[in-house]
Structure formats: structure tokens, C-alpha cells
Structure 1
């Protein structure tokens, strides 16, 4: 895409902000400038916002009490974060975006199957994100949706264009802004702020269907981060402690996720809230006139880096997909053009898909879990149990390498796992109070959704069995002969000549 003879990673800094020079290429060890200490706060903020609060509304909407919703949400978040955290350890060890590494399981071209699922997640997340923002700001301030949607999406696009370093800084500042305010809301709600004597207490209790649904939605929420984590840990030094990194990601993402889902559950039960921003405005205004509006505005501002996070990973996925069909040079120009395309698609979806935000959220998160579970099972089984973290990185960048153009093992495992999940699907529209799709096995289980568990087990076991025929010794001999110069020559065209 560029006729320049300079390395594709060289971005002109000019002493100020610089567009990140890397995208789907390899990060050499000399440029691994990130710190392990940044991972915990980064992923804490990843869940520390009103979107996660909205997930806590799902349980009460299905008749589950706030206490049971909080428990189901916390357990689900911790379960999903396990997968997310283990994926994160792949970043520093390989210095690659997550979906490039998936070529080992699906093949240079076959990875497009997984890319379609993850691109759906990245764009879909932002559709729900922006829908919740424009609906909330319209209810609180009466602001028209279109200008808000355009502004929010534009800021997210700009942050993702500048990339990794600026996004980490934005997450840091957003956390400093939102942490004291959400702590204040939590304490205020515990003392009855925002509640009125006229409000009738919600008649909520327990049901296995609602508990399982809340668990699955919370689990899917953090499992959905699995394709992201390596994108933001790949700048860590190669020999970063795997255990410490997994612990940092797990603690950061699970603590904030459990807190926010619990807060949402109690807002739904005590205030009968169905919109997170409206609920925050109500609690803040009960404490101090005007504080509610400040809470809403800070919440939206603190959420903008999350919009960027989805756009950034969608960009990496789109470039990986294009590169899997026709080899490209991942220049800053390619980065900007892909983000522009993603932004236009996102805006079109937001403006055309309108409706109840919680209903859209519930349905989307369930579908997202169904698409991602087979992929995460295949990827983690390959990384931790089959190849045990050893990969020939130059071979990720050619269809003629040891991973080939198509890896039927991964493709078959994904499709078999997904097919086995279908009879267990339970998709319910909470707002309309009606079923969207219920598989025969889910009906036998009275609507308890275990499709995700079926997908994990079947896809993981299928891939492990099919991988028994791999010649891992031959792969290791090839890997042992590879130097970083070999990697740079393939993964970053022009870098070896310029070094």
C-alpha cells in the first residue's frame, strides 16, 4: 500500500503525538516498552462503566433479585475472565495481535472464519455502546441522537488511529475521573439516595433460568475480551511473568465487572431503573443539585476509550482479514482507511438499529457468546495443551508455511462445537417478554442456557483429538532455527533492510 522504502512501523512523531506505527506486524523486543503494572488498571476500566451497570439490569428484568443477580454476575464475570486472562499471556510471548496468532489453528486463509465472529463482536459491542449513550443522553438532557452518535464515534476513531500508547493514557485518565464518582454512587445508593417512598418495591426472587441467563451474559461479557487482550499486552517484554500477567488481567477485569453488575442490580431493584445513565443522574441529583448531570457527563467521557478499544481491535481484525486474502503492507494509511470504513459501518448500524437498549444488550451478549466460545476453546487448547506456547512466527505471514492456508483441524472443531451448541441455544427478548429462539435441549432444561459450556467442551476436545496427528517435533526444529531477524524480514517488510 505504500511505495516507501522506510520500515512500515516508522511513524513521524514531530515531537508530539504520533500515530502508532504497528498494527498486524510483529513487535520486536527492543520496542516492548509497556509495563506489567498498567494491565490491571487498563482492564479494570475496561469494565468500569455504565455499560457493565446495564448488564446488572438483566437479572431483575427476568425476575431475579438484586442479591442473586449480583452473585450470578460475579460468578459469570470471574468465569469469563479466566479465558480472557489466559489469552492475555500470549501477547508478550509472541508480540502479535490475537487474531494473527489464530492462523496456527485455522490457517492463513481459514482464519477468516474466526475473524468474522470477532469482527461481529467488536462492531456489535460499539453498536450497543453508542445506543446506550445516545438513549441515555436523550433522556437526561434531551440531546438529539445523531450529533451525539457522530461525536462519540469520531472520538473513538481518533483515539484508535493514534493507537496503543494514547489509548493507555486515555484509560488512565478515565479511571481517575470515574473511580471516585462511582464509589460515591455506590455508597449513596446503600444509604437510600434516589429512592422515593412512593416507589413500590420490586417483587423479585430466584429462578434457575434467570440465574443461568445472568451468569451466561456476565461470562460472555468477559469472554468477549478474549480476542482483545493480546492486542494490548503485546508491547510487554517477552519474558514478562505469565502468572503475574494473568493475575493482573483477572483481578482488574473481574473486580470492576463484579462491582458494576452488582451496582446495576441494586439500581434496578431499588430504583426500578432500566437506563444506567438515567439512574446515575437520579442518584447524583438526590445528593446534590446538578451532581447527577456531572455524573452522566463524566460517565460518557470515561467511556470513550472503550469505544476506541473496540474500534482498534476491529481495525486489527479487518486488516488481518484483508491480509489473509491478499498480502498487504500494514502502513499507517492502511490503518486510517480501515478505521474510517469501520466507523462508517458503525454509524450506519447505530442509526438503523434502534430499540430498547437492555433488550439489544441481552440478545447481543448471548449471540456473542455463541460465536466466540468455539474459537476461544480451540485457541487456548492449542496454545496451552498442544503447542504449549511455541510457534514459528514467520509462518503466520505466509500461506505456504507450516500452518498452511487452511487448517481443517481448527475449522472442523469450531463448526462441530457450534453445531452442537444450537440445540442448547436459549435467546430471550427480555423487553418484549418473548422467546427469540429456544433449542430443543434448552426447552428440556426449562430454558437454562448451557450452550456455552457445550461449545467449550466439544470444540476443545475435538481440536485436541484432531491435533494428535500434528508433527510437533518437526515444528519445534523449525522454531529453534528462527531468529528475530528472520521474524522481522517476514512480519515487517523493509525492517531488516533498514536496521
Structure 2
């Protein structure tokens, strides 16, 4: 059993027992605030303005899209303390131990892929205020991120908490600079409205938030099981929404005021125009924020990879297994960062967007099962069995729902690599996420509505580890007592 004072975290895909649970909802607010508090978030707010949308309409689309997407993200937050498991391995309930490999693989590639983006952004920010040694910075920043991820959750939580104060102060100063330097009043009065641009901005903001869903429980599973699900969801929702709205709004204003500059260069120049070295300070803070978020990508990417691998080869979660996996992933990511040309980022982000499409049907199926179908009544013991236990190796309803949702999304894809016919007809607006969520969720409900779960729930009550409490319960336990533990 991992001890609370261990330096290196040993948990990865396995269950966190109550004796190792700790933390508060308040720390989760700060943690999730930092997840979106990187300069990369600025790009999301620039989608609408790039298509001719005025600032006021862009801000409305950012708010509506972010709220919509964050709801799905936040609902996953309650699963962490209730189940004590990382996010993606929970998919074994709906997809089976081996059927879950596809979303697990997508989550792995997306997380390690985004790590490349975070390293490049951090290196570029550092080069803007020092000397141009991008290659060296890539290696140093990647190496530090690997070390943070290897040490694990407790260190990441402390670092994020400390960084949140610095980042918050910097955002206040940057916002003050924007109000003084940029013609905010004139831009607000510009009521240019383009329906396609509004829809595109809404979709970009929503998808950006939904993309975080596959990692949420990785960082809420250490909370005590008595922590109320609503409180956890509210912490995730509030923390990540505030930073997303803040950064995306700044990105929108910068994109309109300085259309010939990329938003990162624009925020640097704007800060320097205001004075007091705000631009340089912002770049320095950006380095720290991207480095920390990169370590989260390494952490969650390794958890997803090990969750997939364990379905085919029984293994024990140890600090060594975690460390080796993260280190190998880190070497691959750093090598990719050094080998990829700077102008590859456009195609690369489109590639990551397509991989993100693979996770949208997953979140629909997972949440529908957790909140509506099985209502949080799971056997942790069986989830952790490589053969899936009572859930089996292949979860047919989940796999069918996933496949239909993904296929339905294809005509709505809108990326630089591929644009579906419907997306093209809509002028490039990406609403694939809404289609995938709706089709997958409705299909899963239809396929499971007549299924008798009584035998499965009896097995859940008898399991040594379950979501009804860790001690083994008698199979004759009443349904009423079980219902009292269902998440709300």
C-alpha cells in the first residue's frame, strides 16, 4: 500500500483506498483553474473573430459554448471520489476490459500529443524574453515536466495551488492592460454577426472544455469518498470555467485588435505597451503554466496507456511502472518536439482535434451509464480484472453506441485535415460534438432500457470493493440501502 508520505506516487490505473484519500474541494477549484490558465486557451477565443464575428457576439458564444462543454467535464468530477479510480479505466463497465481500448488509446495519444504543444508554447514564451535556444528549452522543460509527473499527484496539487496565485495576479494585470491599451469600447460596439462564425465559436469553446473530460477523475479520485459529488462537480465546473472564459475573452479581444499577430505575440506586445514589463512577466508565467499542464498530460497519458495495457497483460501498479512509462513517453514527446517543424503545429492541432472526436462518444456513453443507467452502482473489483469480471471483455451496448455516435459525427468534422460535407455546407462550423453526444447517449439508453441489472447489482453488493463502500456486503442487502449511495 502506498504511504501518504511516499515521494513517488505508486497508484496509476488501480483503486485508491480510503486510507490514502485526502484533499479538499477548495484545492480542486485552484487545480482546475490552472488546467485552462495557459496561453493555448487564447487560441480558442480567436475562432469567431477570424471569421468576422464581432467581439460582443464572440463573448456570448464563448460563454454559452464553455458552459455547455464544462457541464460534461464537471459531471465526470464526481466519479473520482465515488469510485476511487482514474477516469478512463471506468470505461470498462460500458465497453468491457478490451472494448475500452479504443477510447483509452485515443486518450493516451491526445494527452502525449498535447504535451508537445505545451512544450513548444513554453519554449517560445521563454525565448521571447531570453535568447533563442528553442531546442535546449524543449529538452529542459520536457524533462522537468516528466519529473513532476513521476513524483505524482501530491506534488502536482501543491505546485498547481502555488502557481494559481501567481497566475491569477498576472491575469488581473493583463486584463487591466487590455482595458487601457485596446479599444475595448469600440470593439464591443461592433455588432458584426455571422451565424456560421457564431456557431464555430460556440463549437470551439464547447469542444475545448469537453476535451478535458478524459482526465478529470485522475485528479479527483484522491478525495475522501464522503466528499459530496455535487461539491466536486461544482469545483471542477467553477475552476476550469473561470480560466477558460477569462483567457478566451482576452484571446478574442486580441484577435480583433491585432489581426496580423498571433495571439501569443499580441498579448506580449500589449503587455509591453502598457508598461511595467507586463508582457515579459506574462511570458514568464506562461512558461510555468505550460510546464505544469504538460506534466498533467504526461501523468494522465501514462494512466490511460497502462489502463489499456493491463487488459491484455496482468500487472501490478508500482512506482517503477509509473516512472518508466512516463519517462519513455517523455522521451518520445521531447524527440517529437525537436523533430517537428514549427509550422507543423497547424496540422498537428487538427490531428489532435480528430483524435478528440474519438472521445466525444465515449463521454456520452460513460456519463449516461453513470447517472442514468447503472446510477453509480459498480463493482470496483470486477473493473480491475483484466477479463472485465461481470462486465466482460466486450461491452456490446457501449461499443455499438460509441460506433454509431462516431459515424454520425464524420459529416460534421471540420478541421484543416478533413472537413465533412455538412461542416462544409455550414461554412466550416464544427458541431460534431453535439451530434456525437446526442446519438451515442440516446443509442445507449435504447440498448440498455430493457436489460435486467438485478443479477449484476447482486454481484456488486457482494464484491469486496464496490461503490457502496469498501467492506464486503451481503448479497441480500436491500435495494433501499443501495440507493442511498447513488450519486446525485
TM-superposed CA distance for 1:358, in Å, is: 7.2
1:317 Cα shift? Answer: 0.6
Secondary structure class of the residue paired with 1:227: helix
Across the two proteins, how many residue pairs are aligned to each other? 466
Structure 2 counterpart of 1:343: 330
* Paired position in structure 1 for 2:486: none
Is 2:460 the counterpart of 1:479? Answer: yes
Please identify, of 135-144 and 377-386, the stretch whose mean Cα deviation from structure 2 is larger: 135-144
Aligned partner of 1:146 in structure 2 is 135
Q: Match for 1:234 among 199, 216, 221?
A: 221
Instruction: Return 60-69 or 178-187, whichever deviates more.
Output: 60-69
Q: 1: distance between equivalents of 2:285 and 2:419? A: 40
Contact 2:116 2:337 in 1 (8 A): yes
CA distance in 1, matches of 2:449, 2:179: 55
1:62 matched residue in structure 2: 51
Contact 1:110–1:406 under 8 Å retained in 2:
yes
Query: Would you say 1:182 and 2:167 are equivalent positions?
Result: no
- The structural deviation recorded for 1:209 is 2.1
Q: Distance in 1 between matches of 2:340 and 2:371?
A: 40
* Alignment map for 1:43-62 (pairs within 5 Å): 43-62=32-51
Distance 1:75 1:356, change over 3 A: farther
Residues 246-295 of structure 1, C-alpha deviations (whole Å, 9 max, x = no match): 11111111111011100111112123364344223222222335442222
2:397 pairs with 1:409: yes
**Aligned match for 1:453, one of 431, 434, 451:** 434
**What aligned pairs does 1:64-83 form with structure 2 within 5 A after superposition?**
64-83=53-72
Q: What is residue 432 of structure 1 aligned with on the other side?
A: none
Which of 295, 303, 310 does residue 290 from structure 2 map onto?
303
Cα distance in 2, alignment partners of residues 74 and 175 from structure 1: 22
The 1:362/1:59 distance shift into structure 2, 3 A limit, reads farther
Report the Cα offset of residue 177 of structure 1. 1.1
Give, in angstroms, the shift of residue 158 of structure 1: 0.8
Structure 2 residues without counterparts, runs of 5 or longer: 473-488
Matched, 1:354 2:341: yes
Matched, 1:21 2:2: no
- 1:480 is displaced (CA, Å) by 1.4
From the superposition, tell whether residues 414 and 367 of structure 1 become closer, same or farther in structure 2 (CA, over 3 Å): same
Deviation, structure 1 residue 140: 5.0
User: Which residue of structure 2 lines up, in the alignment, with residue 438 of structure 1?
Assistant: 419
- Contact 1:390–1:479 (CA under 8 A) maintained in structure 2: yes
Q: Is the 8 A contact 1:315 1:342 kept in 2?
A: yes
Per the alignment, do residues 219 and 359 of structure 1 end up closer, same or farther by CA in structure 2, a change over 3 Å counting?
same
The alignment's TM-score, normalised by the length of structure 1, stands at 0.87
Distance in 2 (CA, whole Å) between partners of 1:393 and 1:226 is 20
The question of whether the paired residues in 2 share the 8 Å contact of 1:92 and 1:234 is answered with: yes
Gaps of 5+ in 1: 1-6, 430-435, 491-499
2:320 counterpart residue number: 333
Matched, 1:392 2:379: yes
- Residue 121 of structure 1 corresponds to 110
Q: Is contact 2:128–2:283 with CA below 8 Å preserved after alignment?
A: no
CA-atom RMSD in angstroms: 2.6
In 2, are the aligned partners of 1:88 and 1:229 still within 8 Å (CA)?
A: yes
Distance 1:485 1:441, change over 3 A: closer
What is aligned with 1:93? 82
Which of the numbers 426, 444, 453 marks the counterpart of 1:463?
A: 444
Work out the CA distance in 2 between the residues paired with 1:234 and 1:337. Answer: 22
Distance of aligned partners of 1:489 and 1:352 in 2 relative to their CA distance in 1, 3 Å threshold: farther
Q: CA deviation at 1:101?
A: 0.9
Task: Give CA deviations for 1:164-218 in whole Å, capped at 9, x if unaligned.
Answer: 111011101111111111111111111126x8xxxx99x9933222222222121
1:438 is paired with a residue of what secondary structure? Answer: coil
Contact 2:412-2:423 at 8 Å conserved across structures: yes
Once residues 120 and 191 of structure 2 are traced to their aligned partners in structure 1, the CA distance between those partners, rounded to angstroms, is 27
Q: Distance between the aligned counterparts of 2:205 and 2:351, measured in 1?
A: 12
Q: 1:12 to 1:362 in 2, by over 3 A?
A: closer
> Contact 2:119/2:290 (CA < 8 Å) preserved in 1?
no
Specify the alignment match of 1:495 in structure 2. none
1:218 aligns with 2:205: yes
Deviates more, 1:135-144 or 1:55-64: 135-144
State the alpha-carbon separation in 2 of the partners of residues 26 and 58 from structure 1.
Answer: 40
* Corresponding residue SS for 2:418: strand
Of 276-285 and 70-79, deviating more is 276-285
Distance apart, 1:369 and its partner CA: 4.0
CA distance in 1: counterparts of 2:470 and 2:305, whole angstroms: 22
Q: Is the 8 A contact 1:26 1:488 kept in 2?
A: no
CA distance in 1, matches of 2:424, 2:466: 56
